[in-house]
């Protein structure tokens, strides 16, 4: 996970990293451009080019250097210095890579973009990332169509696009064109200690009936069956509810929510999901968790005082210093709520995040794209995964490689889900008031009133208030 520092802001940032499929914003481009500076024809330096060939599909000048800026957060920077750059220079030894790292991308990079001195490839991440929609609308991000159409760096017979997981390109697409590589791949689900489950002969459930039956067994064993931190991580529970709703009714249920469609929150799939989770909250959730933070809950799980925890695949790396020997992180998809769910039990909420883009007005955008082509090689992706315990969007890059229990489990879950992987929702990124209300409503549902219809009605009212507020910029997801 990007920028894992223990702060809630940085944890939240990861969940906002994936761009929408075909995002379209309603405000004028000029307003967004003002955030970044520079018009389409303004102060573009002479850009390096070379002759295209089978060995040089993007037509880079092999003697011109490139400059990259990497965010120094939870993923570290060694993947860039120890994996990607050496791999790039092995192929292009005369192209010097100038590297720098920062924890304040917008502070360091945005003024340079405004001044016409942009680095060639930028990792836009962290709590001080740039507004990438504004960067795109100002014409400052390179269209990556050629990159994705180019041959893979090291997978014969495939284009770069053909080596990626489903939805990877779409998540970096704005108004029909790809502008970003969303590189890290986050798997969301129910996290548990596989060793504890093996010891007690507990089988990971696929149906809701099996889930609640197992929760009862766990409770009888003196362990809290399920929990999340109500004080600062209630959006984990929002994701659990809405993932279940998406499995019941299909991803269109979540798209309708994002698009502020009237009646979206009252969809039967959402009411059924909320009712199922309310019962879990009423019977199997420790009420003291309402006032606790995520670090406190995660530590309880490391101590085998908590069985199931809803989270993303950054969890294992984040808890590394507190994970005792013998603890084996594993993840399971949220169980099917009904016997007629639209998506199967193995269906998974997973999304690409961690934005990397090429500056359209840098000195060497073709070199920047070639660096990204290097990153999207199988060799670079595996190196990244070994160093960060995070999957990438390069499909199968970590197959057959044992790095850590949680990563292995996440990779296996992705394989089992196959085509039944869905991105989830984006309203929490777009509409802060609606996000805040969903967090409060989820806590009330799970800790106090246990009323699914009240939850749905409350969220519908909040969504329509946003929809009717002309001062709020609206976005559309296709």
- Residue 266 confidence class, pLDDT cut points 50, 70, 90: very high
CA distance to 162, 249, 311, per residue, from 255 (Å) = 25, 11, 21
SS3 194: helix
Strand bridging mode 224-226 / 306-312: parallel
Residue 266 DSSP code? G
CATH 1.10.10.10 at 187-349+426-468, yes or no: no
Q: Are 48 and 272 in contact (CB under 8 A)?
A: no
Residues 27, 28, 32, 38, Cα dihedral to 10°: 170
Query: How many residues make up the chain in this entry?
Result: 478
pLDDT tens digits, 74-99: 788 999 999 999 999 999 999 999 99
User: Which architecture does CATH list for 8-185+351-411?
Assistant: 3-Layer(aba) Sandwich (3.40)
190 pLDDT above the threshold of 80: yes
Exposure on the CB side of residue 380, measured as CA atoms within 13 A: 28
Nearest-CA neighbor of 69 among 16, 19, 17, 130? 130
pLDDT tens digits, 208-265: 999 999 999 999 999 999 999 999 999 999 999 999 999 999 999 999 999 999 999 9
Sorted by sequence, the CB contacts under 8 Å of residue 87 that are 6+ apart come out as 374, 377, 379, 380, 383
Taking the C-alpha atoms of residue 9 and residue 342, their distance in angstroms, rounded to an integer, is 34
- Residue 314 confidence class, pLDDT cut points 50, 70, 90: confident
According to the model, what pLDDT value does residue 73 have? Answer: 81
Taking the C-alpha atoms of residue 342 and residue 81, their distance in angstroms, rounded to an integer, is 44
SS3 427: helix
The domain segmentation of the chain, as residue ranges, is 8-185+351-411, 187-349+426-468
Mean pLDDT of all residues belonging to the chain: 89
SS3 358: strand
Q: What values do phi and psi take at 102, rounded to 5?
A: -155, 155
Taking the C-alpha atoms of residue 167 and residue 338, their distance in angstroms, rounded to an integer, is 27
Taking the C-alpha atoms of residue 237 and residue 166, their distance in angstroms, rounded to an integer, is 25
pLDDT tens digits, 400-443: 888 899 999 998 999 899 999 998 898 887 788 999 999 999 99
According to the model, what pLDDT value does residue 234 have? Answer: 95
Max CA separation in the chain (angstroms): 70
Q: What is the pTM of this model?
A: 0.79
Q: Are 223 and 305 in contact (CB under 8 A)?
A: yes
Region for residue 59 given its phi and psi (left: phi exceeds 0; alpha: psi -120 to 50; beta: otherwise): left
Strand bridging mode 391-392 / 181-193: antiparallel
Write out the H or E segment, with its range, that includes residue 438. helix 432-447
pLDDT tens digits, 272-308: 999 999 999 999 999 999 999 999 999 999 999 999 9
Task: Confirm whether 8-185+351-411 and 187-349+426-468 share one CATH topology.
Answer: yes
Question: Structure tokens of 81?
Answer: 């210095």
Degrees, nearest 5: CA angle 307-313-318:
85
Residue 290 DSSP code? G
Taking the C-alpha atoms of residue 303 and residue 363, their distance in angstroms, rounded to an integer, is 53
Residues 207, 212, 214, 216, Cα dihedral to 10°: -170
According to the model, what pLDDT value does residue 129 have? Answer: 85
């Amino acid at each position: 996970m990007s920028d894992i520092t223990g702060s809630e802001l940085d944890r939240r940032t990861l969940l906002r990293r994936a761009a929408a499929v075909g995002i379209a914003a309603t405000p004028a481009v000029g307003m967004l451009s003002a955030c970044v500076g520079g018009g389409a024809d303004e102060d573009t330096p002479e850009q390096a080019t070379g002759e295209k060939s089978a060995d040089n599909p993007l037509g880079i000048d092999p003697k011109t250097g490139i400059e990259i800026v990497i965010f120094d957060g939870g993923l570290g920077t060694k993947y860039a210095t120890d994996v990607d750059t050496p791999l790039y220079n092995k192929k292009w030894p005369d192209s010097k890579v100038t590297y720098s790292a920062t924890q304040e991308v917008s502070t360091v990079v945005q003024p340079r973009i405004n001044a016409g001195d942009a680095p060639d490839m930028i990792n836009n991440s962290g709590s001080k990332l740039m507004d990438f929609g504004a960067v795109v609308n100002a014409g400052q991000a390179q269209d990556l169509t050629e990159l994705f159409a180019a041959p893979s760096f090291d997978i014969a017979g495939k284009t770069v696009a053909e080596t990626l997981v489903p939805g990877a390109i779409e998540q970096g697409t704005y108004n029909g064109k790809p502008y970003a590589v969303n590189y890290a791949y986050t798997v969301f689900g129910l996290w548990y200690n596989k060793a504890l489950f093996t010891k007690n002969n507990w089988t990971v459930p696929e149906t809701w009936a099996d889930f609640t039956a197992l929760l009862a067994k766990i409770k009888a064993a003196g362990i809290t069956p399920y929990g999340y931190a109500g004080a600062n991580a209630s959006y984990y529970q929002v994701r659990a509810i809405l993932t279940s709703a998406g499995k019941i009714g299909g991803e269109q249920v979540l798209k309708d929510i994002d698009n502020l469609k009237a009646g979206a929150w009252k969809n039967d799939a959402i009411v059924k999901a909320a009712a199922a989770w309310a019962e879990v909250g009423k019977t199997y959730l420790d009420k003291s968790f309402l006032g606790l933070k995520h670090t406190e809950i995660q530590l309880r799980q490391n101590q085998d005082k908590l069985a199931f925890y809803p989270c993303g695949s950054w969890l294992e790396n984040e808890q590394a210093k507190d994970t005792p020997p013998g603890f084996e992180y594993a993840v399971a998809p949220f169980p099917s709520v009904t016997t007629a769910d639209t998506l199967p039990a193995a269906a998974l909420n997973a999304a690409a995040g961690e934005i990397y883009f090429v500056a359209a007005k840098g000195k060497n955008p073709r070199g920047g794209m070639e660096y990204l082509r290097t990153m999207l090689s199988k060799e670079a992706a595996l190196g990244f995964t070994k160093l960060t315990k995070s999957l990438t969007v390069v499909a199968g890059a970590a197959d057959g490689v044992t790095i850590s229990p949680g990563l292995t489990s996440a990779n296996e879950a992705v394989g089992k889900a196959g085509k039944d992987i869905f991105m989830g929702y984006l309203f929490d990124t777009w509409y802060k008031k609606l996000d805040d209300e969903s967090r409060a409503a989820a806590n009330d549902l799970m800790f106090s009133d246990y009323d699914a219809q009240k939850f749905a009605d409350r969220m519908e009212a909040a969504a329509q208030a946003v929809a009717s507020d002309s001062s709020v910029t609206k976005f559309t997801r296709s």
